[in-house]
Amino acid sequence: MGLFKNSMANPDQKTILIDNAFEEIKNICLNLQKDADASTLEIKNLLKLIMNEWEEKKDQKTGFGFR
């Protein structure tokens, strides 16, 4: 996975960071859904669009996203 360097001192750090990132993203999505009065499907579609854009930019090596 390209999100974190492979040379972390403690393998549990990666798990903790992933868990924390998941919780933060989940909270962002819940707040957006509430604030924008968006459906769950709309939030899922938005996340898919972001992921697709992220992958395209990563493949182009423009510096967008994680390496």
pLDDT of residue 20: 94
Residue 35: inside a domain, yes or no? yes
Q: What is the pTM of this model?
A: 0.64
Residue 47: inside a domain, yes or no? yes
Residue 2: inside a domain, yes or no? no
Please give the residue range of the domain that contains residue 48. 12-59
Residue 3: inside a domain, yes or no? no
Task: Extract the tokens encoding 64.
Answer: 């967008």
pLDDT, one tens digit per residue, over 17-42 is: 999 999 999 999 999 999 999 999 99
Residue 67: inside a domain, yes or no? no
Nearest of 44, 14, 48, 22 to residue 32 by alpha carbon = 44
Residue 21: inside a domain, yes or no? yes
pLDDT at 1 > cutoff 50? no
Residue 4: inside a domain, yes or no? no
Overall size of the chain counted in residues: 67
Task: Extract the tokens encoding 53.
Answer: 């854009």
The domain total for the chain is: 1
